[in-house]
Amino acid sequence: MDCPSDTVFILEDVNLFFGSVPILTDVNITIRQRSITSIIGPSGSGKSTLLRTLNRLNDHYPTFRCTGLVSYCGNSIYDNRNGSVDVSRLRQDIGMVFQKPCLFPTSIYENVLFGVKRLKLRPKSEFYEIAETMLRAVFLWDEVKDRLKHSANELSQGQQQRLSLARALACEPKVLLLDEPTASLDPKSSEAIESLILKLGTRLTVIFVTHHLEQAKQLSETVIFLSDGCVCEWGGVDAIFSCPDKIMTQQYLAGHAS
Amino acid sequence: MTPWFLGISFLISSSLAGIILVFLISGSLPIFEKYGWEFIFGEEWYVGETYGALPMIYGTTVVTGIALGIALPLGIGTAVVTSEVVGRRMRYILKSVMEIMAGVPGIVYGLLGMLLVTTWIRDLFGLVDGNCLLTAGLLLGVMILPTVMTLSEDAIHVVPNFYREQAYALGLQTHEVIIYAVLPQAIPGILGAIFLGTTRAMGETVAVMLVIGSLDRIPDPFYNLFAPAQSIASKIGREAAESIGVGLHWNALVALGLILFGMVMTLTWLAERVGWTGRLQ
Amino acid sequence: MMTSVRGRGLVGRFWFLLTMLTTVLSVMLLVSVVSVMVAKGGAVLTWEFFSQPSRSFGAEGGIRSQIMGTLILAVGAGLISLPIALGTALYQSEYLSLRFQSVVMRLIYALNGVPTILFGLFGYLVFGLYFGLGISWLSGVLILAMMILPTLVVSIREAIESIPVQYREAGLALGMTIPQLIRTVIIPYSFHGIVTGLLLGLARATGETAAILFTATTFFGVDLPKSFNEPVTTLQTHILVLSQEAVHLSATSAVWGSALTLMVLVFCFSSGALVIRSRFGVKV
Ligand SMILES: Nc1ncnc2c1ncn2[C@@H]1O[C@H](COP(=O)(O)OP(=O)(O)O)[C@@H](O)[C@H]1O
Ligand SMILES: [Mg+2]
């Protein structure tokens, strides 16, 4: 789907609840196309919840509620009055990678193609080519090309995470959500993911959650800082890191630096 | 509670299966010495004259097959709905119903079959007699349904949630998530449930005995499910009391038991091969 | 806003309908089993029915001796099986290497797979003939005890395995020997599993017919056994015989009543097990 304007996501007066507990209130942010945005904040501040709101993954928690306007490419994605939102289609447009690499207990090859195959996005004849392209894109091809049929669980954590990324990319998403993608990885694998994020940011809209401030600083153009149940501050990376407006942001940044 | 007591208990429990096997083998030796393969492939059973087990083997296989034909689709379908579709409360209710119903004694199904189902089947299909393979299979199917369902549900429910989330995040719809991301991982457990249900059906005595018609003959034509027949367990149940623990008749019954044991153990072994180590009910 | 891909929604709806249909059917089947039993047998369940012995070939009187017989066999089996199962589970978890444990579990599963009628054959020969118990309640108790042993062992093992390692280590760190550890940590913390296993075993033993049919029971003429080598009469045998041979209408309704009583007895044990299971956080 093509985005008519420059903004991919617009959130206006959004409130997120689990049951009657407000997790985030009064969220007002916009996210530009082909930009890299990071979400930071203390743990439990609702980073994952916010991220998962964007592809409606929270729907699978029965108590989750969302009010306000969340629009993706000009369409309100929670406005389901006439059943007009095709959630499955929305999620095809929005790839996601989780903190813990989650591979299905099949081969490496099958895992890369999992989405493509199930969604019948491409003809069968292109499968091998897609697998190769995607694995190359995440710098995994050379490491696994001789054992594509092996179980994906043989791979190291770092490789698994890159494979998860390849699987998401194979569906040709316009947006990529990553929830602490490097949190369970060793430094070297983290580096690989980081450089991938930078590379992908030139053609996709990337939004990632992290608790490495350094990572947020280096990779993202925009930073969203969550704290105490609201978006405490958001804006350009330089503004937030060099002269944060709010005391809370200052404290958080300082606390992490020391 | 001193260790020697533990050791003795342990020895008893771990050797019982073996002791029973030895008992079955030694008890059936005379029959196999006299008839050899004829016993297994023989189609006639006249006490004092000839003993052939084929009709009973056939009957056991067919009723078990019918039972699975009913219990598998219903049980696994219900398990999927219980684990993946309905809410927590409903799941709890359905699970409880199934766990409780898994304990309904075989004799209760036998009674229901004998006094009700046979007449229904008779009238429904215009038969002379409702005691037949189909009736026995139907009853067994309902009997093992809760077991198949609740153990399959266990297997489906333990699939970690992040697989579902991952599949949803890729854009799969609920049914696709279940089919492609959840069920493949539950297969060992589901197979275990199926094997356990199958062994239950195979070994069931009274529920079958009362409705199968107890005719030691392979139906003609063999696919005629409306014909009366006989199963191994039912045969033993009918005749064990008459044969007093000695003589060829007894040996023949024990040999039937050995065949049944072999069938069941093959399934149990298969269940373990697929990695099933669930609870028992 | 966004168009669907090639009828996926349709497939989904069909799939959903199909699985829902199986669920409704399964539930209806099982509910109808219970409701038929209640409808047919409910009317005869009076105090007299429970408290009087049966007369005139089941057509008159009640099922007192039958209830007693069923319970004697089941409870007896439970009492014999429990210590052995407990001993087995403890020996396995405390004295055996992991590899050996899994071998033993296979043997236990094998025992569980043995069709109940074979326990009958085996017990008839061993207890009835070799031990000279004949057709007696003691034979029945021993046979049922063997039969329910795997159920108890597995349930107790499950509970022992779920004891957090720290508890065990805390005990060992205090310098406890294994028997002390068993007494102070393992048994108290797996107590729910022991009770669950016992109840499940009782449920199984209560409902069992084939194994005791020609080894422990008789249809008529006994109330409470006076010695070890006397048979009992049970609900199961009562139902089996009367269902095949009852001619009298009131005998038929007594059969339904007996079957309902038996089912309720089994349900009492198994729902007890269920309650304990869910209470102790083991998934239902
Ligand atoms: N499924 C859920 N049900 C109820 N509360 C939840 C659920 N998921 C998360 N929460 C609550 O929402 C808050 C934010 O969680 P999360 O978004 O995971 O935080 P973060 O990712 O920033 O660490 C936490 O307080 C958490 O307890
Ligand atoms: Mg999080």
Quick: pLDDT tens for A3-45.
Answer: 767 889 999 999 999 999 999 999 999 999 999 999 999 989 9
Atom of ligand 1 nearest to the CA of A43: 23
Residue C6 has pLDDT above 60, yes or no: no
Residues C27 and C150 in one domain: no
Q: Which domain holds residue A183?
A: 7-255
DSSP SS3 for B73: helix
Q: What is the pLDDT of residue A83?
A: 63
**Residue A214 half-sphere exposure, CB side, CA atoms within 13 Å?**
7
Å from B176 to nearest chain A CA?
8
Q: In this structure, what are the phi and psi dihedrals at residue A229, rounded to the nearest 5 degrees?
A: 75, 15
Contacts of C60 (CB under 8 A, 6+ apart): C54, C250
State the Cα–Cα distance between residues C67 and C258, nearest whole angstrom: 9
- What's the total number of domains in chain C? 2
Asked whether residue A1 is assigned to any structural domain, the reply reads: no
Residues C86 and C176 in one domain: yes
Contacts of C177 (CB under 8 A, 6+ apart): none
Residues C12 and C53 in one domain: no
Query: What are the Cα distances from residue B259, in Å, to A205, B52, B160, C108?
Result: 66, 12, 40, 20
Mutate which of A20, A21, A23, A45 for ligand 1? The one with the most ligand atoms within 8 Å of its CB, which is A23
DSSP SS3 for B164: helix
Tokens of B131: 């005691």
The string of DSSP letters for chain C reads --PPSTTHHHHHHHHHHHHHHHHHHHHHHHHHHHHHHHHHHGGG--HHHHHS-EETTTTEE--HHHHHHHHHHHHHHHHHHHHHHHHHHHHHHHHS-HHHHHHHHHHHHHHHHS-HHHHHHHHIIIIIIIS---S-HHHHHHHHHHHHHHHHHHHHHHHHHTS-HHHHHHHHHTT--HHHHIIIIIHHHTHHHHHHHHHHHHHHHHH--HHHHTTTB-SSS-SS--STT--B--HHHHHHHHHHH--SHHHHHHHHHHHHHHHHHHHHHHHHHHHHHHHTT---
State the Cα–Cα distance between residues B15 and A140, nearest whole angstrom: 53
Beta strand A175-179 with B50-51 is unpaired
Asked whether residue A241 is assigned to any structural domain, the reply reads: yes
Report long-range pairs for A189-194 (Cβ below 8 Å, ≥24 apart).
Answer: A189/A156, A189/A157, A189/A158, A189/A159, A189/A161, A189/A162, A190/A158, A192/A138, A192/A139, A192/A158, A192/A162, A193/A158, A193/A161, A193/A162, A193/A165, A194/A218, A194/A219
Q: Which domain holds residue C27?
A: 2-42
Contacts of C31 (CB under 8 A, 6+ apart): none
Quick: pLDDT tens for C149-173.
Answer: 999 999 999 899 889 888 888 888 8
The region, left, alpha or beta by phi > 0 then psi within -120 to 50, assigned to residue C134 is left
Residues C235 and C201 in one domain: yes
Atom of ligand 1 nearest to the CA of A226: 22
Taking the model in full, what pTM does it have?
0.90
Contacts of C208 (CB under 8 A, 6+ apart): B105, C116, C144, C147, C236
Asked whether residue A232 is assigned to any structural domain, the reply reads: yes
Q: What is the pLDDT of residue B234?
A: 94
State the Cα–Cα distance between residues A69 and A10, nearest whole angstrom: 8
Residue A258 has pLDDT above 60, yes or no: no
The region, left, alpha or beta by phi > 0 then psi within -120 to 50, assigned to residue C149 is alpha
Nearest-Å Rg of the Cα atoms of chain C is 24
Model confidence at B103, pLDDT cuts 50, 70, 90, reads very high
Residue C1 has pLDDT above 80, yes or no: no
For ligand 1, the distance from its centroid to the CA atom of residue B13, given in whole angstroms, is: 48
Pocket of ligand 1 (CB under 6 A): A 18, 23, 41, 43-49, 61, 63
CA atoms A103, A106, A110, A116: torsion sign: negative
Quick: pLDDT tens for B5-63.
Answer: 888 999 999 999 999 999 999 999 999 999 888 899 988 898 888 899 999 999 999 99
Question: Is C243 in CB contact (< 8 Å) with chain B?
Answer: yes
- From the list B14, B101, B176, the residue facing C104 with the nearest CB is B14
Element (H, E) at B94: helix B88-101
Residues C22 and C152 in one domain: no
Which residue of A lies nearest to B174 if distances are taken between CA atoms?
A88
State the Cα–Cα distance between residues B193 and B190, nearest whole angstrom: 5
Residue B177 has pLDDT above 90, yes or no: yes
Mutate which of A15, A16, A18, A25 for ligand 1? The one with the most ligand atoms within 8 Å of its CB, which is A18
Q: Mean pLDDT across the stretch B130-146?
A: 95
Tokens of A76: 């309100």
Nearest-Å Rg of the Cα atoms of chain A is 18
- From the list A88, A102, A164, the residue facing B172 with the nearest CB is A88
Please report where in the chains the tokens 């280096």 appear, as a residue: A218
Contact yes or no for A221/A237 (Cβ under 8 A): yes
State the Cα–Cα distance between residues A138 and A52, nearest whole angstrom: 23
State the Cα–Cα distance between residues A96 and B207, nearest whole angstrom: 54
Residue A162 has pLDDT above 80, yes or no: yes
Quick: pLDDT tens for C107-156.
Answer: 998 999 999 999 999 999 999 888 988 889 999 999 999 999 999 999 99
Element (H, E) at A13: strand A7-18
Residues C8 and C64 in one domain: no
Quick: pLDDT tens for B82-102.
Answer: 999 998 999 999 999 999 999
Residue C21 has pLDDT above 90, yes or no: yes
- What's the total number of domains in chain A? 1
Question: Is C220 in CB contact (< 8 Å) with chain B?
Answer: no
C99 versus B209: the higher-pLDDT residue is B209
User: Does A84 sit within 8 Å of C1, measured CB to CB?
Assistant: yes
Which CATH number fits the domain that encloses residue A251? 3.40.50.300
Quick: pLDDT tens for A92-146.
Answer: 999 999 999 989 989 999 999 999 998 888 888 999 999 999 999 998 999 998 9
Question: Is A102 in CB contact (< 8 Å) with chain B?
Answer: yes
Query: What are the Cα distances from residue C127, in Å, to B237, C80, C115, C124, C134?
Result: 18, 15, 18, 6, 7
Asked whether residue A2 is assigned to any structural domain, the reply reads: no
Model confidence at C7, pLDDT cuts 50, 70, 90, reads low
Q: What is the pLDDT of residue C171?
A: 87
Asked whether residue A223 is assigned to any structural domain, the reply reads: yes
Tokens of C65: 């001796």
Contact yes or no for B264/B188 (Cβ under 8 A): no
CB < 8 Å to C5, chain A: 88-89, 119-120
Residues C8 and C56 in one domain: no
Atom of ligand 1 nearest to the CA of A19: 4
State the Cα–Cα distance between residues B204 and B140, nearest whole angstrom: 8
Report long-range pairs for B217-222 (Cβ below 8 Å, ≥24 apart).
Answer: B217/B43, B217/B55, B218/B43, B218/B54, B218/B55, B218/B58, B219/B133, B222/B58
Could you give all domains of chain B from N- to C-terminal order, each with its CATH number? 54-234 (1.10.3720.10)
Looking at the DSSP bridge assignments, the partners of residue A65 are A17
Is residue C130 packed enough to be buried (19+ CB in 10 Å), middle (13-18) or exposed (0-12)?
A: exposed
Quick: pLDDT tens for B187-196.
Answer: 989 998 999 9
Interface of C with B in 109-148 (CB under 8 A): 109-122, 124-126, 128-129, 146
Q: Mean pLDDT across the stretch C184-197?
A: 92
Nearest Cα residue to C92 out of B251, B154, B14, A62: B14
Model confidence at B275, pLDDT cuts 50, 70, 90, reads low
Residue C3 has pLDDT above 50, yes or no: no
Contact yes or no for A84/A76 (Cβ under 8 A): no
Which CATH number fits the domain that encloses residue C140? 1.10.3720.10
pLDDT above 70 covers what percent of chain C?
A: 95
Tokens of C218: 């008789």
Contact yes or no for A157/A183 (Cβ under 8 A): no
